Amino acid sequence: MREVRVRFAPSPTGALHIGGVRTALYNYLLARKHGGTMILRIEDTDQTRFVPGAEEYILESLAWAGIEIDEGVSKGGPHAPYRQSERKVIYKQYADQLVNDGKAYYAFDTEQELDAMRERLKTQGSSDQQYSSGTRNSMKNSLTLSAIDVKEKLDSKTPFVIRLKVPVNEEIKLVDLIRGEVNVNSSQIDDKVLMKSDGMPTYHLANVVDDYLMKISHVIRGEEWLPSAPLHVLLYKFLGWEKEMPQFAHLPLLLKADGNGKLSKRDADKAGFPIFPIDWTDPKTKEFSKGFRENGYLPQALVNFLAFLGWNPGTTQEIFSVKELINAFTLERIGKAGAKFDIHKAQWFNQQYLRAKTDEELSEYLFNSLKTENIDCSVEKAKKICAAMKERVTYPSDFWELGKFFFRAPTQFDEQVVSKKWNDDTTKFLGVYLDEIKKLSLVTAENSKSLLEKTSLITGIASGKIMQTFRVALTGGASGPDLMMTMEIIGKEEVTSRISFALDNIKVRVS
Ligand code: GLU
């Protein structure tokens, strides 16, 4: 097998979409699996779409996700520079080669002339109004003008573009590793611009030239680039690089959770979940979008989730460390069908990764929140809270958000439970429990449970009947972690004062 050299080649036109992170990840996994090289190339030839800060954003996002770059922007390497805007002279050389070989030509048509051509074709009833083999002969280009005219125009700096001379009626074949054989007739391709009048190459030329020069073995990218692939194959052929052509793998689209159409930022915004890896503020519109990182997703969980968007290991195992992903990953196991993006699955992965952490690691998350709230807490207590809450959290901030009652006595009580279930049995039971607990020197999960049984015997009320109201009295909420452990954590003083407060303040009675 050829040395694996893959590239992630984003354009710095805004925040990196989560689909872009998946593309980068698949490239990375393949590179690592085969001891290959992962390259980061910034494709910034379209100056009109350049967004300041986007490149830095891409680098930070990849670093956060743990997708390491071996060669490229920020790293350097033997094929530097890796920013296309800095490689203009290189592209020009190949564009000139194509012109000299008769595979491309200069076109001097003005915007008005191009519009006029389209209008003319439209009125003639032609469905295809492109600059192509059918139209190029009636246009102002180096195929129709005399050599002297062309020279005169070039000398006088008349603006021009270089267009590819796409052959008439030729079958272009390519084998995509995911989609199999793709056949396109060249008549379906227009004479694409390769060099723009500002001297910058277009995506197509720069992409092919760089993949060749950077010795790329596999082009792994989103399905939206599949229509460009035949044109790229043609360019490889015209430049004499057929043997060095990389293999193509076009990744399936990311779809909405119901499978109905492509996942867009608008869909994500509407459903209230992130679509960008990290926070992003659009420099032009100032629109702010929260990232997966800031929403509390662990990078390993996100990576595991993304790996499964289009790929599967062929087994039932779902939790994969990056190392395991590298071992298991193959391009053959990527499917053709669009991958449904279900945020609940991402949350599930996050939960699994949080649960796998030690109480000590988790307590760091709680301490982060406590610091901003200015609350002191012993390490022991924090660890106990985390152990109790572990099964209930989705994000690191949930230890605080769902566990505030460990630190603050409730002042409000779940209304539904109170109105439906707070009755004389509750007050009787809690009254006795309160008297009994005062006799203890220390409250533990164990003795508070024994006390529950004792109180049941004394009152003749089954503890199961009052458990939910008991919880509401202690925590304010209708659900939460083990109540006995909760009592141990908050301690005797707090338990007694909370029960007293609840008995004094919850007035609604149901008989
Ligand atoms: N610059 C293209 C993009 O923004 C790269 C496509 C490719 O990988 O060839 O996605």
Q: Dihedral sign for Cα 127, 128, 133, 137, please.
A: positive
Using DSSP's 3-state secondary structure scheme, residue 69 falls into coil
Catalytic residues: 265
Report the pLDDT value the prediction gives residue 86, as an integer from 0 to 100.
97
CA angle 243, 247, 253 (to 5 degrees): 155
Percent of the chain whose pLDDT exceeds 70: 99
Q: Encode pLDDT of 454-492 as tens digits.
A: 999 999 999 999 999 999 999 999 999 999 999 999 999
Give distance in angstroms: CA of 168 to centre of ligand 1.
Answer: 27
Percent of the chain whose pLDDT exceeds 90: 97
Q: Pairing mode, if any, of strands 339-340 and 161-164?
A: unpaired
* Fold type of domain 409-511: Arc Repressor Mutant, subunit A (1.10.10)
**pLDDT above 80 (res 35):** yes
CATH 1.10.10.350 domain range(s) in the chain: 409-511
Query: What is the spatial distance between Cα 213 and Cα 218, in angstroms, rounded to a whole number?
Result: 13
Quickly state the pLDDT bin for 128 (edges 50, 70, 90).
Answer: confident
**pLDDT above 60 (res 165):** yes
Please report the atom of ligand 1 found closest to the CA of residue 7: 8
Please report the atom of ligand 1 found closest to the CA of residue 10: 4
Decide: 41 in ligand 1 pocket, CB within 6 A.
Answer: no
Q: Which of 28, 43, 58, 233 to mutate to test the pocket of ligand 1 (most atoms within 8 A of CB)?
A: 43
Q: Encode pLDDT of 398-438 as tens digits.
A: 999 999 999 999 999 999 999 999 999 999 999 999 999 99
Give distance in angstroms: CA of 13 to centre of ligand 1.
Answer: 11
Give distance in angstroms: CA of 16 to centre of ligand 1.
Answer: 12
Report the pLDDT value the prediction gives residue 212, as an integer from 0 to 100.
98
Q: Dihedral sign for Cα 232, 233, 239, 242, please.
A: positive
**pLDDT above 60 (res 119):** yes
Please name which of 294, 288, 253, 285 lies closest in space to residue 269, comparing C-alpha atoms: 288
Cα dihedral: 301, 306, 307, 310 (round 10): 150
* Fold type of domain 357-403: Helicase, Ruva Protein; domain 3 (1.10.8)
CATH class of domain segment(s) 265-353 = mainly alpha
Mean pLDDT of 155-162: 97
Report the pLDDT value the prediction gives residue 208, as an integer from 0 to 100.
98
Q: Which helix (H) or strand (E) holds 75?
A: none
Instruction: Kindly state the tokens that stand for 218.
Output: 């596999």
Mean pLDDT of 483-511: 90
Give distance in angstroms: CA of 245 to centre of ligand 1.
Answer: 17
CATH 3.90.800.10 domain range(s) in the chain: 88-195
CATH 3.40.50.620 domain range(s) in the chain: 5-73+208-255
C-beta of residue 296 within 8 angstroms of C-beta of residue 397: yes
Q: Encode pLDDT of 229-272 as tens digits.
A: 999 999 999 999 999 999 999 999 999 999 999 999 999 999 99
**pLDDT above 70 (res 345):** yes
CATH number of 88-195: 3.90.800.10
Radius of gyration, CA atoms only, the chain: 32
Instruction: Kindly state the tokens that stand for 388.
Output: 């109790």
Please name which of 497, 494, 473, 503 lies closest in space to residue 406, comparing C-alpha atoms: 494
Q: Encode pLDDT of 275-329 as tens digits.
A: 999 999 999 999 999 999 999 999 999 999 999 999 999 999 999 999 999 999 9
**pLDDT above 60 (res 389):** yes
The pTM score is 0.94
| Mean pLDDT, all residues of the chain | 96
Quickly state the pLDDT bin for 126 (edges 50, 70, 90).
Answer: confident
Report the pLDDT value the prediction gives residue 508, as an integer from 0 to 100.
59
CATH 1.10.1160.10 domain range(s) in the chain: 265-353
Three-state secondary structure string covering 282-331: CCCCCCEECEHHHHCCCHHHHHHHHHCCCECCCCCCCCCCHHHHHHHCCH
Q: Encode pLDDT of 140-149 as tens digits.
A: 999 999 999 9
Instruction: Kindly state the tokens that stand for 303.
Output: 């990576």
Residue 428's contacts (CB-CB under 8 Å, 6 or more residues apart) are 459, 461
Please report the atom of ligand 1 found closest to the CA of residue 20: 10
Decide: 11 in ligand 1 pocket, CB within 6 A.
Answer: yes
Of the candidate CATH numbers 3.40.225.10, 2.40.30.10, 3.40.50.880, 3.40.50.620, the domain formed by 5-73+208-255 belongs to: 3.40.50.620
**pLDDT above 60 (res 390):** yes
Tokens 């070989």 map to which residue? 101
Q: Which of 8, 11, 58, 226 to mutate to test the pocket of ligand 1 (most atoms within 8 A of CB)?
A: 11
Using DSSP's 3-state secondary structure scheme, residue 182 falls into strand
Report the pLDDT value the prediction gives residue 1, as an integer from 0 to 100.
77
Query: What is the spatial distance between Cα 75 and Cα 73, in angstroms, rounded to a whole number?
Result: 5
